């Protein structure tokens, strides 16, 4: 997607602080961290949000969830972490390319809404 911020990060047109990369996914540090560790994990294929996950593309989502524990271990998040995906305007999604936030390194607030 030519106009997508995260597609530009994948392409290397916008720099990012990468923590993990393979053929199908990329993880990098959030530019405005909400916790001591705040990493975004994204598929390299452009999926707009959780709402765009289908039987055809869900394999990359499963792969993301296999890699998240590896990233968490590498980041030293042995005491726990949160995985969040904001989907659509009511959830406050600001970048329309599927991404999972990994948040940790402190006791996180419990509010869900």
The residues of the shown chain that bind ligand 5GP, judged by CB under 6 A, are 5, 14, 16, 28-32, 40, 86, 92-95
Out of Zn ion, ligand 5GP, none, what residue 86 binds, judged by CB under 5 to 8 A for its kind, is: ligand 5GP
Q: Single out the segment in contact with Zn ion by CB under 5 A; choices: 33-41, 49-57, 60-68, 97-105.
A: 97-105
Q: What are phi and psi of 86, to 5 degrees?
A: -85, 130
> For residues 83 and 68, is the Cβ–Cβ distance under 8 A?
yes
**SS3 of residue 95 by DSSP:** coil
- State the minimum distance, in angstroms, from the CB of residue 94 to ligand 5GP: 4
Out of ligand 5GP, Zn ion, none, what residue 4 binds, judged by CB under 5 to 8 A for its kind, is: Zn ion
> For residues 83 and 61, is the Cβ–Cβ distance under 8 A?
no
Q: Single out the segment in contact with Zn ion by CB under 5 A; choices: 24-32, 39-47, 60-68, 75-83.
A: 39-47
| Residue number with CB closer to Zn ion (1 or 74) | 1
**SS3 of residue 38 by DSSP:** strand
Catalytic residue among 38, 46, 97, 99: 99
Cα separation of 108 and 79, whole Å? Answer: 11
- Measured in whole angstroms, the distance separating CA 72 from the mean position of its chain's CA atoms is 12
Cα separation of 45 and 85, whole Å? Answer: 16
- In the complex, which residues of this chain contact Zn ion (CB under 5 A)? 1, 4, 6-7, 46, 97
């Amino acid at each position: 997607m030519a106009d997508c911020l995260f597609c530009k990060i994948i392409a290397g047109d916008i720099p990012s602080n990468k923590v993990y990369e393979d053929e199908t996914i990329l993880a990098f540090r959030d530019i405005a961290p909400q916790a001591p560790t705040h990493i975004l994990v994204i598929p390299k294929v452009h999926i707009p949000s959780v709402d765009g996950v289908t039987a055809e593309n869900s394999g990359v989502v499963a792969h993301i969830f296999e890699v998240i524990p590896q990233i968490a271990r590498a980041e030293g998040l042995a005491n726990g972490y949160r995985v969040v995906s904001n989907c659509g305007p009511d959830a406050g999604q600001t970048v329309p390319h599927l991404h999972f936030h990994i948040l940790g390194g402190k006791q996180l607030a419990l509010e869900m809404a």
